[in-house]
C-alpha cells in the first residue's frame, strides 16, 4: 500500500477548512486532451515504482509565495465550481425553452434559448481552464492528498475524460448547429448534452463527497469497494442539491445577462426582448430556489446519519453562525425576488389593483426574515447579559430555534408564491361562472395551510426533539400542496379570461435590473459560502477521519476571513462573467468598417454617430 | 461602458456588504486538537485533568453531551453527575465497566429516553487511544463520584483503537509476508542472504545450521547465543529490534512465518 | 414585553394615520421614516428585558432594507419621494432648514465620536457567563466534594459554640488580609490596590448579586479552583483569580468564607435553593 507519509489518521494534527476539492470539470476538446495528459501523467507517476519508492523526498505539501496554498486552491476551486454550475445549468433550461418554442411554434422562445446558449461556449472554455488549473494546483500543492485520492478514484478518471470529450462534442454541435439541424435532432443534441454534463458532475461529486463522508475503505484508508466510495452517504443528496442549485444559479446569471443587455439596449425591441429574458431567468432561478431548502434538508439528514458529531459541528458548533449569514443571504434573495416581481407588475395594465397588497406581503417577508436571522445564542455586552439574566433572551430564545425558523421559511416560500400569483393574474379578469367560488377556495386553501404551518410551528415547542424534527415534513408538504392546488385552480379559473391589456415588455425601471444583478451576486455569494461550509466542516481533515491535514493551514479560519475570500472570489467571478458577456455579444455586432472618422475606442459599435446619440438618449430617457 | 462600470461597482458594493455581514458575527478560529502525551504513571488527579481536556477537545464529547443542563429537551444524556449514576445504570456493571462499555460499545445500552447514535470513540475520526479512554473514565467518575480507575486498569473492549491496530496488525489478519518483514524491520541491513558477512552473520543456509527453535531464540533473545566472530556485536540486534518496534508490532503468526522463511534458506 | 410602550407606539401610529387621512398628506418617504422610528422604539424600549444592541442592529438593518424596498417598489411613490428630497435641497424656502441639517449632521457624527471616546473603554461583547453553573463535584486535595450538598463544616458553630466560631472568623480575617484584600479591597468592594488592573474587576462582595445569592459551596468552588477552574462554557474568560487550593487548606477556605459573610452582613443562600 502506498500511504502518503504522515497523512493517515493518527499522525500529527491539523484541520482544514475550505479547500473545495476536485470538482466537476468541462473542457474544450484541446483541453480535454490536456487534462487527460495531466491525469494520466499523474497516474503513471504514481504507478511507477521509481517515483513511488523515494517517499521521504516527496513533501506532503508545497507552498506558494504571498498566498497560502489553501486560499489559492479555495479560490480556484470555487471559481471553477461557479463556472461549471453555470455551464451545466444553461443547457438545462435552454433545452426546455427551446422545446417550448418547438411545441408552440413561437420563434421568440427559440431566440431566447439561443441567447442563453451563446453564453455557453466561452464559459465552457473558462470552466475547463480553471479545472486544469485546479488539477495542477492540487498536484503541486497537495501532492500527498492528491496521490491518495488518485489511488482511490483512479477507475473513475477514464470515463470522466471520455464524458468530457462527448460534452465538448455535444456542446459545440448544439451551439453551432442552431438552426442547422431539424428541430428534433437539435433537441436530441441538447438532451445528450444535459445527460453527459450531469454524468460528469456526478463523477466529480463522488470525489469531493468522499472527502466529507468517506465510505468503501477500511480503517487504514485502503479501498475496499469503489462503488461504496462513489456512492457514499452524501453523494446523491449533493448531486440533487447541486442540480437544483445550478438551475437557480444559472437562471440568475442568465437574468443578469438580460439585465446587462437591457441597460445597454438602444431600441425598444431589444429592450423588450432582454426584459423578457431577465424575467424568464429570474423565474427559473426562483422556481429552483423554492425546493432547494428541502434538498438541503435531505443533505443535512444524510450528514447526521453518517456521523452525528459531523452534523453537530455543522449546525450547532463552529459553523452555527455561518447559517445566520446564510439566513441573511436567503432573506435578501426572497426580498429581491419579490421586489422584482412587484416592479414587473408595472409593465402590466391592471396590476394597479394589486398594489395595495404589497405592503402586507412585505410585512410578512420582513417578519419571516427577522425570525430566520435570529441567532440562537446572542452576542451581548456584560451589562446586556446581566439585564437578560444570562446569555439567553427569554423572547429571542423562542425565535432562535428550529420550529420558528422552519415556519418562517415555509411562509417566505408561500408569500413569494402569492407575489407570483398576483403577477400572473395582474391583467386578467376571470370570466368563468364560478369565479367567486374559485377565488374563495384558493383563499381558503391559503388560510388553512398558513394556520396549519403556524400551528405545527407552535406545537413544536411542546414536544420532544425527535417529534419536532418530524414536524417539518407536514409543514413542507402542506406548502407544496397549497402551491400546486392553487396553481391548478388558477389555470382553470383564468381560462378564457378577459384581458385588461398586454404585457408591455421593456417598460420596467432600471432599478429592477439592478435587483436582478443583486440576485445574481447574492446567489454567487451564497454558493461560495455554502461551498466553504461543505469543505470546512471537515475541520482538520482532508478526508474526514482518514487523511488528516498536517499543513500549516489546518486550522478553521474565522467566518470574517472566509467571507473575505468568498467576496474576492465573487468579484473575480463577475469580472470573468463580464468578459463572457462581452465576448458573447460580439457575434451580434456589426462588422468592422474602415472609416476616416473612426476615433472611437475599438470595442464600440461601428455605428453612425447620430444613431448612436439617439440610442444613448433613448436608453437614458428610460 | 457606463453601465458595465456601474454594474461592477454595484457588484463590489454588494460583495463588500456580505463581507461586512460575515464580520458582524462572532469571529472564532478553531485550531486543530493538540495531542496530549499520556505516561503510564499518572496520578488520579492528573488523569482527571487530562481526561477533562480530552472530553472538551479531542474526544469532542461536548459537541453532543452537556454538563449541567437539566432542561427536559436534551438530545443526549447530561454528564454532570455521571460519576454518581454510572454504577446504577446497568445491573451487574460497576461504574468503570459501564463507562468502558459506553465508550467501546456505546449502543449496547442506551439511556432510556434517548436515541442510540453515539460514535465508537475508539475508532476514527475521534480515535481515542485506550490510555486516553482511561483518563476520560477517570474524569467522568470524578463528576459526582470518586475516580477509582488507574492507568493500569484493563477494560473490556481495549485494543480496538487504530493505534493499537497499527501496533499489532496481526489483529486485523496479520498478513505481512516474511520477506516484507525481513526488510521492514531492517534485518537485511546486518544479515545478507548471499553469504557475505555484514554487521551480523549471513543467513545463507541458516535453516541447515539452526533448528526452528534456535532461530526463534536468536530473534527473541539475540544475545543468548552469539555466532562465532560476532562477539563485538553483542547487544546490537536486541537494541535495533526494539528501536524499529519489532517486538511490539510483530504478531505470533508473522514471527512464525518469518522463522519458517529463515529455516527454508 | 413592555406593553405600555408598545401601546403608546401603536397609538401614536394610529393617530398619525388619522391625521394623515383627514387633514394633511404625508408622503411615503415620511411614512417610512415614521415606521422606522416606531419599529426602532418598539425594539429598543418595548421589550423587557431589553434586547442586546447587536440584535437591534441586525433587526433594524433588515427593516431598513424592507422599507427601502417598499419605498422603491412603486415608481410614482419613489418619484414623489425623490422630488421631496430634491425640493428640500433646491428650493429657496427650505434654505434655512437645509443649512441646519447640513450643520447638524457632522455635529451628530462628532457627538457620536465624542461620546464613544469619552466613555471608558468597554470590554468587547462576548457570550461570557459571569456565574457559570458549578460542576456537581470537585476534587479538593484528592477527595471529591459534592457541591450540591457540601456545607460549611464550621457554620453550625455559630449557634453551638460562639467562641469557637469567633475563632474561625478571626482566622478567616487573617486569611483574607493576607491573601484576598490586595484585589478585593479592605472593605470588600472589589477595589483593592491591584483591582484597577483587572478586567473583569474583582467581585464586590457588598453587591447583593454576588455572595448574597450564592451558596457557601459555590464560593468554595470559586476560591479553590479560581479562574483556571472555570468551565469551558464560560470562555472566553479572563479572570485573574488564582486557584487557592494550591495555597490554602480546606479549613482556611471555609474560614475565609465565614469571614466574608460576617464582614458584609449577608447570609449565605440556603442549601437546596436553586441558583
pLDDT, position B110? 84
What integer pLDDT is reported at residue A48 of this predicted model? 42
- Does B15 contact chain A (CB < 8 Å)? yes
Task: Provide mean pLDDT across the span A496-500.
Answer: 83
* Separation CA A539–CA A532 (nearest Å): 11
pLDDT tens per residue, range A275-304 = 999 999 999 998 898 888 878 888 888 887
Averaged pLDDT for residues C31-44: 92
Residue B235 CA to residue B222 CA, distance in Å, equals 7
As to burial, measured by CB atoms within 10 angstroms (0-12 exposed, 13-18 middle, 19+ buried), residue A572 is middle
In a domain? residue C128: no
The top-scoring range by mean pLDDT among A57-71, A278-292, B200-214, C206-220 is A278-292
Q: Are residues C77 and C104 in the same domain?
A: yes
Out of C52, C72, C75, the one facing A378 most closely (by C-beta) is C52
Using CA atoms, how far residue B6 sits from A510, A517, B2, B42, C172, in Å, is 12, 11, 6, 68, 74
B171-263 belongs to which homologous superfamily?
Cytochrome c-like domain (1.10.760.10)
Same-domain pairing of C158 and C114: no
Would you place residue C191 in the very low, low, confident or very high pLDDT band (cuts 50, 70, 90)?
confident
Residues C258 and C169 reside in one and the same domain: yes
In this predicted model, what pLDDT tens digit does every residue of B60-96 receive, in sequence order?
A: 787 778 777 766 666 778 887 888 888 888 888 888 8
Strands C137-140 and A498-499: unpaired
ipTM: 0.81
Residue of A nearest to C122 (CA): A381
What pLDDT is recorded for position A32? Answer: 47
Mean pLDDT of C28-39: 90
CB-CB under 8 Å, C142 with B80? no
Q: Taking all residues of chain A, what is their mean pLDDT, rounded to a whole number?
A: 82
Contacts of C134 in chain B (CB under 8 A): 68
For chain C, the domain total comes to 2
Sign of CA dihedral A347, A350, A355, A358: negative
Contact A545 B25 (CB under 8 A): no
The answer to which of A48-52, A239-243, A255-259, B59-63 has the lowest mean pLDDT is A48-52
Q: pLDDT: is A386 or A174 the higher one?
A: A174
Same domain, C113 and C17: yes
Structural domain ending residue among the three candidates C85, C118, C151: C118
pLDDT over 60 at C68, yes or no? yes
Residue C38 Cα to chain centre, angstroms? 25
C-alpha distance from A231 to closest chain B C-alpha (Å)? 20
Looking at the fold, whether C151 and C42 belong to one and the same domain comes out as: no
Let me know if B62 is exposed, middle or buried by CB neighbors in 10 A (0-12, 13-18, 19+).
Answer: middle
Q: Are B172 and B162 in contact (CB under 8 A)?
A: no
Helix (H, G, I), strand (E, B) or coil at A587: coil
Q: φ, ψ for residue C26 (rounded to 5)?
A: -115, 120
* Residue A334, pLDDT score: 92
Q: Which of B24, B48, B67 lies at the smallest CB-CB distance from C231? A: B67
pLDDT for position A318: 66
Q: Which three cell numbers stand for residue B148?
A: 477509582
Contact check, Cβ <8 Å, A362/C69: yes
Q: Which of B119, B10, B3 is nearest to B65 (CA)?
A: B119
| Co-location of C114 and C141 in the same domain | no
pLDDT of residue A166: 94
Could you list the residue range(s) of the whole structural domain that residue C17 is in? 3-118
pLDDT interval class at C228 (50, 70, 90)? confident
Domain B44-167 has CATH 1.10.760.10: yes
Q: Taking 50 as the threshold, does the pLDDT of residue A452 lie above it?
A: yes
Interatomic CA distance for residues A145 and A42, integer angstroms: 13
- B44-167 and B171-263 have identical folds: yes
Q: Write the DSSP symbol of residue A75.
A: H
The answer to whether A108 and A138 have CB atoms below 8 angstroms apart is: no
Q: What is the pLDDT of residue A598?
A: 52
User: Is residue A613's pLDDT more than 50?
Assistant: no
Q: Within this chain, do residues C146 and C249 fall inside the same structural domain, yes or no?
A: yes
pLDDT mean over C158-172: 91
Inspect the interface and report whether the beta carbons of C135 and B67 lie closer than 8 Å: yes
Per-residue pLDDT tens over the stretch B10-58: 999 999 999 999 998 888 787 777 766 777 778 888 888 888 888 877 7
What was the pLDDT predicted at C233?
46
Which residues on A lie below 8 Å from C49 (Cβ)?
A: 387-389, 393-394
Q: Which residues of B touch A18 (CB under 8 A)?
A: none
pLDDT of residue A255: 93
Assign A253 a pLDDT band (cuts: 50, 70, 90). very high
Residue C196 counted as domain residue:
yes
Same-domain check for residues C176 and C226 = yes
Where along chain B do its domains lie?
A: 44-167, 171-263
The answer on C146 and C101 residing in a single domain is: no
Q: State pLDDT tens for residues A307-342.
A: 766 776 777 666 878 988 999 999 999 999 999 999
pLDDT in tens, A75-93: 999 999 999 999 999 999 8
- The answer to whether the beta carbons of residues A150 and A42 sit under 8 Å apart is yes
C8, C99: one domain = yes
**Statement to judge: residues C103 and C162 lie in one domain:** no
Confidence of residue A30 (pLDDT cuts 50, 70, 90): very low
Contacts of A84 (CB under 8 A, 6+ apart): A23, A24, A25, A26, A127, A131, A201
- C25 and C141 fall within a common domain: no
Higher pLDDT, A355 or A574: A574
CA of B255 vs chain C CAs: smallest distance (Å): 46
Where does residue B233 fall: left (phi above 0), alpha (psi -120 to 50 degrees), or beta otherwise?
alpha
In a domain, C65, yes or no: yes
pLDDT band (50, 70, 90) for residue C42: very high
- Which among A119-123, A596-600, A618-622, B212-216 has the top mean pLDDT? A119-123
What confidence category does residue A599 fall into, taking pLDDT thresholds of 50, 70 and 90? low
Across the interface, of A307, A529, A563, the residue whose CB is closest to B119 is: A307
Residue C271, domain member (yes or no): no
**CB within 8 Å: A335 and C50:** no
Amino acid at each position: 500500500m502506498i500511504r502518503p507519509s504522515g497523512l493517515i489518521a493518527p499522525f500529527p494534527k491539523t484541520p482544514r477548512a475550505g479547500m473545495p476539492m476536485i470538482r466537476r470539470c468541462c473542457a474544450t476538446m484541446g483541453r480535454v486532451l490536456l487534462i487527460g495528459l495531466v491525469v494520466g501523467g499523474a497516474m503513471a507517476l504514481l504507478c511507477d515504482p521509481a517515483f513511488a519508492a523515494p517517499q521521504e523526498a516527496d513533501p506532503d505539501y508545497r507552498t506558494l509565495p504571498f498566498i497560502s496554498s489553501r486560499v489559492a486552491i479555495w479560490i480556484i476551486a470555487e471559481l471553477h465550481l461557479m463556472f461549471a454550475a453555470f455551464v451545466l445549468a444553461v443547457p438545462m433550461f435552454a433545452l426546455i425553452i427551446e422545446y417550448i418554442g418547438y411545441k408552440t411554434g413561437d420563434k421568440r422562445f427559440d431566440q431566447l434559448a439561443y441567447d442563453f446558449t451563446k453564453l455557453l461556449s466561452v464559459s465552457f472554455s473558462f470552466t475547463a481552464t480553471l479545472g486544469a488549473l485546479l488539477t495542477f494546483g492540487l498536484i503541486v500543492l497537495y501532492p500527498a492528498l492528491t496521490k491518495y485520492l488518485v489511488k482511490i478514484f483512479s477507475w473513475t478518471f477514464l470515463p470522466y475524460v471520455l464524458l468530457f470529450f462527448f460534452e465538448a462534442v455535444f456542446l459545440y454541435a448544439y451551439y453551432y448547429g442552431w438552426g442547422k439541424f431539424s428541430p428534433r435532432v437539435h433537441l436530441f443534441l441538447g438532451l445528450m448534452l444535459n445527460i453527459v454534463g450531469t454524468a460528469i458532475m456526478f463523477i466529480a461529486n463522488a470525489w469531493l463527497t468522499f472527502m466529507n463522508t468517506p465510505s468503501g475503505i477500511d480503517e487504514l484508508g485502503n479501498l475496499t469497494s469503489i462503488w461504496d466510495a462513489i456512492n457514499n452517504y452524501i453523494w446523491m443528496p449533493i448531486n440533487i442539491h447541486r442540480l437544483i442549485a445550478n438551475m437557480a444559479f444559472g437562471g440568475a446569471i442568465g437574468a443578469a445577462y438580460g439585465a446587462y443587455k437591457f441597460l445597454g439596449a438602444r431600441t425598444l425591441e431589444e429592450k423588450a426582448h432582454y426584459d423578457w429574458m431577465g424575467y424568464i431567468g429570474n423565474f427559473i432561478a426562483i422556481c429552483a430556489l423554492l425546493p432547494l431548502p428541502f434538498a438541503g434538508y435531505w443533505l443535512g439528514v444524510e450528514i447526521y446519519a453518517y456521523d452525528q458529531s459531523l452534523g453537530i459541528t455543522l449546525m450547532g458548533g463552529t459553523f452555527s453562525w455561518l447559517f445566520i449569514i446564510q439566513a441573511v443571504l436567503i432573506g435578501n434573495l426572497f426580498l429581491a425576488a419579490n421586489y422584482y416581481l412587484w416592479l414587473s407588475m408595472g409593465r402590466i395594465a391592471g396590476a394597479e389593483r394589486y398594489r395595495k397588497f404589497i405592503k402586507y406581503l412585505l410585512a410578512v417577508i420582513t417578519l419571516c426574515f427577522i425570525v430566520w436571522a435570529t441567532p440562537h445564542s446572542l452576542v451581548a455586552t456584560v451589562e446586556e447579559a446581566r439585564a437578560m439574566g444570562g446569555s439567553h433572551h427569554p423572547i429571542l430564545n423562542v425565535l432562535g430555534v428550529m420550529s420558528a425558523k422552519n415556519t418562517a421559511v415555509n411562509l417566505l416560500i408561500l408569500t413569494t408564491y402569492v407575489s407570483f400569483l398576483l403577477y400572473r393574474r395582474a391583467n386578467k379578469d376571470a370570466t368563468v361562472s364560478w369565479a367567486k367560488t374559485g377565488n374563495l377556495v384558493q383563499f381558503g386553501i391559503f388560510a388553512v395551510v398558513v394556520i396549519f404551518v403556524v400551528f405545527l410551528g407552535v406545537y413544536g415547542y411542546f414536544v420532544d426533539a425527535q417529534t419536532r424534527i418530524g414536524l417539518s415534513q407536514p409543514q413542507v408538504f402542506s406548502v407544496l400542496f397549497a402551491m400546486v392546488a392553487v396553481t391548478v385552480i388558477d389555470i382553470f379559473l383564468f381560462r378564457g379570461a378577459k384581458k385588461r391589456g398586454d404585457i408591455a415588455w421593456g417598460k420596467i425601471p432600471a432599478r429592477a435590473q439592478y435587483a436582478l444583478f443583486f440576485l445574481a451576486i447574492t446567489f454567487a455569494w451564497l454558493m461560495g459560502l455554502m461551498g466553504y461550509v461543505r469543505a470546512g466542516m471537515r475541520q482538520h481533515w482532508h478526508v474526514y477521519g482518514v487523511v488528516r491535514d498536517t499543513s500549516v493551514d489546518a486550522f478553521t479560519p474565522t467566518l470574517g476571513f472566509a467571507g473575505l475570500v468568498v467576496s474576492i472570489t465573487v468579484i473575480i467571478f463577475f469580472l470573468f462573467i463580464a468578459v463572457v458577456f462581452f465576448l458573447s455579444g460580439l457575434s451580434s455586432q456589426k462588422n468592422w468598417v474602415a472609416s476616416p472618422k473612426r476615433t472611437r475606442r475599438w470595442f464600440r459599435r461601428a455605428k453612425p454617430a447620430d444613431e448612436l446619440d439617439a440610442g444613448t438618449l433613448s436608453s437614458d430617457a428610460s | 461602458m457606463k453601465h458595465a462600470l456601474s454594474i461592477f461597482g454595484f457588484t463590489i458594493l454588494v460583495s463588500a456588504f456580505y463581507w461586512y455581514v460575515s464580520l458582524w458575527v462572532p469571529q472564532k478560529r478553531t485550531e486543530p486538537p493538540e495531542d496530549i502525551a499520556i505516561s503510564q504513571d499518572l496520578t488520579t488527579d492528573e488523569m482527571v485533568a487530562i481526561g477533562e481536556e480530552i472530553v472538551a477537545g479531542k474526544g469532542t464529547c461536548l459537541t453532543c453531551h452537556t454538563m449541567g443542563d437539566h432542561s427536559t429537551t436534551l438530545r443526549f444524556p447530561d454528564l454532570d453527575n455521571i460519576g454518581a449514576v454510572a454504577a446504577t445504570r446497568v445491573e451487574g456493571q460497576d461504574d468503570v465497566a459501564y463507562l468502558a462499555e459506553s465508550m467501546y460499545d456505546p449502543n449496547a445500552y442506551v439511556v432510556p429516553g434517548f436515541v442510540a447514535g453515539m460514535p465508537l470513540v475508539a475508532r476514527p475520526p475521534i480515535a481515542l487511544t485506550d490510555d486516553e479512554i482511561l483518563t476520560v473514565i477517570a474524569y467522568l467518575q470524578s463528576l459526582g463520584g470518586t475516580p477509582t480507575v488507574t492507568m493500569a486498569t484493563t477494560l473490556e473492549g481495549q485494543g480496538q483503537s487504530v493505534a493499537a491496530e497499527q501496533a499489532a496488525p496481526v489483529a486485523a489478519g496479520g498478513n505481512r509476508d516474511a520477506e516484507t518483514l525481513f526488510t521492514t524491520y531492517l534485518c537485511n541491513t546486518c544479515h545478507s542472504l548471499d553469504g557475505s558477512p555484514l554487521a551480523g552473520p549471513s543467513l545463507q543456509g541458516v535453516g541447515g545450521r539452526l533448528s526452528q527453535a534456535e532461530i526463534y531464540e536468536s530473534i527473541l533473545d539475540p544475545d543468548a547465543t552469539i555466532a562465532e566472530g560476532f562477539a563485538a556485536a553483542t547487544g546490537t540486534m536486541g537494541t535495533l529490534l526494539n528501536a524499529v518496534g519489532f517486538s511490539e508490532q510483530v504478531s505470533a503468526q508473522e514471527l512464525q512465518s518469518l522463522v519458517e522463511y529463515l529455516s527454508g534458506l | 414585553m413592555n406593553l405600555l410602550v408598545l401601546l403608546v407606539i401603536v397609538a401614536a401610529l394610529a393617530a398619525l394615520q388619522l391625521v394623515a387621512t383627514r387633514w394633511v398628506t404625508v408622503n411615503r418617504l415620511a411614512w417610512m421614516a415614521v415606521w422606522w422610528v416606531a419599529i426602532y422604539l418598539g425594539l429598543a424600549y418595548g421589550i423587557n428585558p431589553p434586547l442586546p444592541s447587536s440584535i437591534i442592529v441586525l433587526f433594524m438593518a433588515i427593516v431598513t432594507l424592507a422599507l427601502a424596498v417598499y419605498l422603491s417598489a412603486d415608481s410614482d411613490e419613489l418619484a414623489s419621494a425623490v422630488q421631496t428630497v430634491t425640493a428640500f435641497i433646491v428650493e429657496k424656502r427650505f434654505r434655512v432648514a437645509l443649512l441646519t441639517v447640513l450643520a447638524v449632521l457632522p455635529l451628530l457624527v462628532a457627538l457620536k465620536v465624542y461620546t464613544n471616546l469619552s466613555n471608558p473603554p468597554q470590554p468587547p461583547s462576548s457570550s461570557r457567563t459571569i456565574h457559570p453553573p458549578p460542576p456537581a463535584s470537585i476534587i479538593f486535595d484528592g477527595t471529591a466534594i459534592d457541591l450540591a450538598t457540601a456545607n460549611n463544616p464550621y457554620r453550625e458553630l455559630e449557634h453551638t459554640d460562639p467562641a469557637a466560631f469567633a475563632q474561625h472568623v478571626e482566622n478567616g480575617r487573617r486569611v483574607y488580609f493576607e491573601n484576598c484584600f490586595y484585589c478585593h479591597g479592605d472593605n470588600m468592594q472589589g477595589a483593592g490596590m491591584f483591582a484597577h488592573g483587572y478586567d473583569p474587576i474583582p467581585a464586590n462582595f457588598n453587591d447583593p448579586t454576588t455572595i448574597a445569592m450564592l451558596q457557601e459551596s459555590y464560593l468554595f468552588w470559586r476560591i479553590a479552583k479560581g479562574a483556571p477552574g472555570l468551565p469551558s462554557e464560560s470562555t472566553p474568560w479572563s479572570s485573574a483569580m488564582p486557584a487557592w487550593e494550591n495555597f490554602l487548606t480546606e479549613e482556611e477556605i471555609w474560614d475565609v468564607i465565614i469571614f466574608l459573610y460576617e464582614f458584609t452582613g449577608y447570609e449565605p443562600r440556603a442549601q437546596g435553593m436553586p441558583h
